[in-house]
Structure formats: structure tokens, C-alpha cells
Amino acid sequence: MTASSRGGCDSQVVMSDEAEGLNYASSGVDIDLEGASVASLVGALSRSVRVPGTPGAPVDLPGGFGGLIEFGDNLLALATDGVGSKLQIASMMNHWSGVGIDCMAMNVNDLLCVGAEPIAFVDYIAVPKPDPDQHAAIGASLAEACRIARVTLAGGETASLPGIVTELDLSGTALGWLPKGMAITGANISDGDVMIGLPASGIHSNGFSLVRKVVELSGCAYTDPAPFATEFAGREIVRMKDGGVTLGEVLLNPTRIYVDPVTDLIDACRAGSGPCPADALHGICHVTGGGLSNLLRLHDSLGWHIDNPMPSLPEFDWVQTTGGITDREMARTFNLGMGMVLVVDSEHANAVCDWVATRLEGTQIVGSVCNHGHKVTHVNPEIVFEHY
């Protein structure tokens, strides 16, 4: 029997021998191999045919959270991503209300990391066979995502691909803009800068190959009551129906879209009415696949130390305990409750943290930039990353 059809989920799961030492690679996703493959792809690409100074010419940007191109007195920013294997749980539960928000979040949150305001979005849905009810539910989710992200849904594509795809896949591309010369690139990050953590709403949209493996081994059904406490300050679970919160509902909780408060913070600082000058915002990191190692994308030589980590969400604790997963592997695969990091000049860090916290409960200072080599360190000595 599959995990989705089995019942009797027990909050005191006894880890099986098969679950001993689970990691992302053993569940089918090798982050290091993916990184090497992306590097190979990028290395094979030719340079842009657009001449510097003309619309569409590329703008160098470290980190890779979004691509920048010239457009007159402004810059345009682009990001593309998908929901990933979280969709398989949505399909098992026929619960599509959050997947459009996931797709939007994975894209617009990356645009925020370069200082861009998201303005438009296009989606791509690939299915083995069209399903009007399923598409209506996804459309409603995308409409809600546009409202939260404050963007226009400018178009999209639905492809029926029997023989190529076996389940629905959803991805998209977001467009943003910013004034020329105002990009947040990480170049101004310096020793002593402060990291401000913004809370996640759940697992977001990374690590689900490992999550699904843990659920399979646990004996839980996605429709069973969650085998852990689900209440957590500052977040709500999107429900399918009344009654106890199910495991599947927690795992499918939509990725938080950080346009509010991050766009408002950037705009206020640029206008001179924010908690700090615009040039005190040195970097922004979206904590996605790769977990805390994403911080290494912001600067090519400085390091990061987290001495006040955000509290882990209960679903992460359950996944780790049930799967026998190491602390390092958890921090390499998941956001662990921190979905985004702002890197701010130390002089203004408290003011920025207080400003954001009034809009997003749970925001806190989590650590600092340090000159101890290009690595991420943590109050937990097992968590060290020296490459993304």
C-alpha cells in the first residue's frame, strides 16, 4: 500500500531501518550534481547579441537570484521556476488551492533579491490530459497569487503532452523592474553586516522528494491528522475542509510571498521615508533549494554566521525525527522556518528589523557577516557550508 492510502498515522513514529540516515540524494535529488549540471549549461551558453547600453543588454549580477537586462533609464528583472514535486502531493489530495501561490512565490521572491518590484507573470502548465475542474482550481490559485504579489497575469500556456508528462507540472516566469543603478547585488556587503530573518509559512517548495520519502516510510496518509502540533505564531494553514488539520494540508501550505513587506521596505528606503537609507540594504537571500548554503551566493569571499536561528517549524522536526536526517542535511535541504534573509548595515539593523516585524510577525536578527572565509557557520557546529 502507498502512504497516501494507509491510515493509522501515529505521532510517535518508530523509524524503520530503511529510514536510517535519509538524505536528499538518496531520495532522488543530488544538489551537488544539479549545481554541476547548471554550471555546465551556463558554460555552454553564448554571450548575448545585445550591445551594452541598448534595451535587452545583460547586466552582470552575482548570485543568480534573477537576471537583469537594460531598458532605458530602468532595468528589467526576470526569474523562472516551478513548483516541483510538491505537485504530486497536491494531486494525491486533489488540493490545488495553494500551488499557484507556490509558483508565483518561487519567482517573485527571487526578483526581490535583486531589488526589483514584480509587475507581471506568465504561467506554463503541462498535463497528460486536460481536466477543466483541475484547471479552474489552479486558475483561482494563480489569481490569488497575483493579488498577493501585486502583479498582472500577462498570459500563459497549457500544453497537453501525453507520453511526455505523466502528471501535471506547473511553472512560470516573473517580470520586475527597478531604477538603473539601484540593484541590490551583494557587492556592498561587508564584515559586521547584520542578517535579518523573515519567517517561512512552511516547507515552501523545496525538498519534497525527501519529504515524500519520509511520509512513505512513516506509514502516515496525507489525509491523516498531522502527527505534530500545527499551530505556529504568525502563520495559518490553508484548509481543504473543517476538522483537524491533516498532514497533507500542512505540507501543502503555500510558499510565503514576500512582496509585502520587502517591496514596501525597498520603496520606502529609496524615497527617504524608510527605516534606513537605500544603500544600507546590502543583500537579500531567498532560502530555497540548498537551504542555508544560498547565503554563499551573495558574496564571493565573505562568510556568514548564524548565532540566533529562527525556531524550526514543527513539520521540519517531524521530518527530521521520522527520517533520521542529520542537522546538516536538514539545513542543506530546507528553509527550517526562515524563508528570506535581509543583509543590512549594522547601524540600521535594529530599525529595519523592527519595521519589518510590524508587518511580518516573527522577523528577527539571526546572525552577521564575518570575515572568516567563504563559508556559512552556525551555532550548531554540525552545520557548516563552504559551497552552494
Shared domain for 251 and 226, answered yes or no, is: yes
Q: How far apart are CA 77 and CA 364, in angstroms?
A: 28
pLDDT score recorded for residue 2:
34
Whether the CB-CB separation of 160 and 193 falls below 8 Å is answered with no
Is the same domain home to 347 and 283?
yes
Residues 204 and 93 in one domain: no
Residue 236 lies in a domain: yes
Could you give the CA distance from residue 307 to residue 195 in angstroms, rounded to a whole number? 10
Q: Is residue 356 part of a domain?
A: yes
Q: Is 360 a member of any domain?
A: yes
DSSP state of 231: -
Domains of the chain: total: 2
- The one-digit pLDDT tens for each residue of the chain (388 residues) are 233 333 456 644 444 444 456 876 666 666 666 656 655 645 555 566 788 889 999 888 766 677 999 999 999 999 999 999 999 999 999 999 999 999 999 999 999 999 999 999 999 999 999 999 999 999 999 999 999 999 999 999 999 999 999 999 999 999 999 999 999 999 999 999 999 999 999 999 999 999 999 999 999 999 999 999 999 999 999 999 889 999 999 999 999 999 999 999 999 999 999 999 999 999 999 999 999 999 999 999 999 999 999 999 999 999 999 999 999 999 999 999 999 999 999 999 999 999 999 999 999 999 999 999 999 999 999 999 999 8
Considering the domain architecture, whether residues 220 and 124 belong to the same structural domain is answered as no
Burial class (CB in 10 A: 0-12, 13-18, 19+), 163: exposed
Residues 345 and 213 in one domain: yes
Helix (H, G, I), strand (E, B) or coil at 236: coil
Residue in 120, 75, 64, 22 with CA at minimum distance from that of residue 328: 22
- On whether both 132 and 158 belong to a single domain, the answer is yes
Question: Residue 89 maps to which CATH number?
Answer: 3.30.1330.10
Nearest C-alpha neighbor of 117 from the set 263, 12, 242, 228: 263
The pLDDT of residue 20 is 55
Residue 371: inside a domain: yes
Task: Tell me, yes or no, whether 313 and 200 share the same domain.
Answer: yes
CATH number of the domain residue 356 falls in = 3.90.650.10
Domain co-membership, 200 together with 263: yes
Give the strand pairing for 152-160 and 117-127. parallel
| 283 belongs to a structural domain | yes
Where among 142, 161, 179 does a domain terminate?
Answer: 179
Question: Does 235 map to a domain?
Answer: yes
Task: Compute CA distances 185 → 203, 228, 268, whole Å.
Answer: 26, 40, 19
Task: Judge if 195 and 319 occupy the same domain.
Answer: yes
- 386 within a domain of the structure (yes/no): no
**Are residues 131 and 248 located together in one domain of the fold?**
no
The answer to whether residue 90 sits within a structural domain is yes
Where is the domain boundary, 179, 198, 213?
179
pTM of the shown model: 0.90
Same domain? 150 vs 235: no
Q: What integer pLDDT is reported at residue 36 of this predicted model?
A: 65
Q: Same domain, yes or no, for 205 and 102?
A: no
Domain final residue, candidates 154, 179, 204? 179
Range of the domain at 286: 16-23+186-378
